Chains A and B, each alone.
Chain A
Amino acid sequence: MIPSDHFTRFYNEVFKFLEDQGEEHLEAYWLEISKNQEKHTLKLFKEKGLKGMYEYWDHIRIEENCDMDLKLDDEKLELRMNVCPSLSKVLDNDAEPMKRYCDHCAGWIGPLIDKVDHHLVYDVIDRNKPQCVVKIFKDKEKAIEEEKNAKLLMGWPKKRK
């Protein structure tokens, strides 16, 4: 068994293999993970919108030991990841970290948020630091406006324009 505690280091090895095959291989995998995550989240997000997303990430915050602040208001959900356990483990690793490890997060969350007609703004800030800011908006125009403030804005497969 690869312990669940070490999944991210296994993930990192999968990413390195797929990156060597080409970008479309990585994206196909992120979409597969996104489909897998739909099983836990799609109904919740569709039915409860931002409140459902808050519930999901609040559960993740606890179960994955994230140092993360969550803020919900009428128009958006904001996740401020102060210390990301996923990237932290990949960096604290005897195997080489994939340079774009952070990209997978927008890679699976983006398509899911698209499906529930919300708008994701994913600022990774710096791929070498385990922190990021994620904002999910109801309103597309507000998301586009927020994108201008991002330091390192992430895209995802088939991002809606």
Chain B
Amino acid sequence: MAGLATTYGSGAMSNSMDDIAANAAAFFIIGSNTTEQHPVFGTKIRRAIQKRGAKLIVADPRRIDITDLATVHLQQKAGSDTALINGLMYLILEKGYEDKSFIAERTVDFEAFKEVIQDYPPEKVSEITSVPVELLHEAAEIMGTSQPMAVMWAMGITQHIKGVRNVMALANMQMLLGNMGIPGGGVNPLRGQNNVQGACDLGGLPNVFPGYQKVTSEEVQKKFAQAWGRGTELKVGKTLTEMIPDVEKGETHALYILGEDPVMSDPDTKHIRANLEACEFVILQEIFQSETAIYADVLLPGSSFAEKTGTFTNTERRVQMVRQAINPVGDSRPDWEIISDLAKRIIARTPRLLPLTAPHAGWDYPDTAAIMAEIAALTPQYSGISHKRLENGERLQWPVRDENHSGTPILHVGQFASGKGKFMPIEHIPPAESPDKDYPYIMSTGRVLYHWHGGQMTRRVKGIMEAYGEALVEVNPEDADNLGINGENAIRLTSRHGSIDTKAWVTDRVPPGMVYANFHFPDASANELTHASLDPVSKIPEYKVTAVKVEKI
């Protein structure tokens, strides 16, 4: 969430789901298929629209489920989000809907931003995005008159080479409208996986220690060196989208993969497979022999959520208990036990790390409550969090400053984490790939309601396979007619990177010229086709725009 961190000083969802559902006068959903990907939050939004008349603007190239309830559906061309957002802000400024006192009191760099926005008049934006000018006016009017408005997005915004710019543009919009730090407003990136938020919070990123403490700060390094007996070098590590390709460059020699399936979820599968195969040592800690297991040298059987106790942090920064319901299956062990056992064995082979005299250097944890106590000691946002408080029924959203603090449902109240909010001048740039004569369709990728990510879990549920048992590619009826596709016959999708054979779901969910594929099934995974063009800052791959060719076979 590099975009929000630059603008506001914190990259997390600013408001709570309940608060948004209860208080927003309008919702702006862009690049999030909320009712299918965050279904229970999706139902809350539906209720707000149906029962209390909140307005809904959806910007999505596809006619996703929730567009049925939209006051306005902006069907922008894939990869034209920045232009769309800037165009809406142009109209907001033109009509004088901006919150002048918020801009004056809480933000900086407004003038430079305003200058860039002047380049996005509706006619030009309509040309770039193919959204009709009237709809731009309609949406801008709702934004200007229905306040507070909450903005929600997901991977539809970030999985582009300009994902960070898209996010900054949305951050600009919410400052412009004065929708920050208030109930029913905010910037709300919806986290896809159950504990993405927690993995980010607790050091699962190459540039920060737990609590977003920068590895490049001498002060932070000193803190962790004192706590652990040892820090790291003052340089940012490699991202996932860098460390795997670095195998072929001879720079990565071992990979330790915990509960991930890069063969399914990473772009350009062929390339990933080649790198994993070439890697000197691949450790996979998983509950199934996933597609990635084919390349693993050792497989450490971890446990599912039902077999261990600890915490997850949800998309609204709420830390919640996970409790053991059954014993670990077979000889599998909870992952935290495996990691600490392994750590002790490596330390035993590394005399220079001994003795472990620093206060948090050791690895003897009786339970996960003890690990959480160490987290609280070193992570400012988690300072006041303990299993004991959660077991007592307290509902805690970070930051929780100390054991008496009751948490923070809304961020940026009164002032931004970084002091003043910074307007960023953001220009539209076209996607890395565009359709041409050979690859005339734009393919976007994502998930469907019934399945989950690489499909390792949901493909092993009988009812779900009855409901959705094979990879289907959404094709518009007009295109289907031209290609002779009827939903029964096999089709082949080919990109510049690979090819898959599958079947079509002929539906007007996608506009003509666009197809939508998922990555739940290994024999027809969309990531065989995607490319590894990354956002230069966030290193997120551009999953949402790949040029493909579609044929009946």
Mutual binders A and B: no
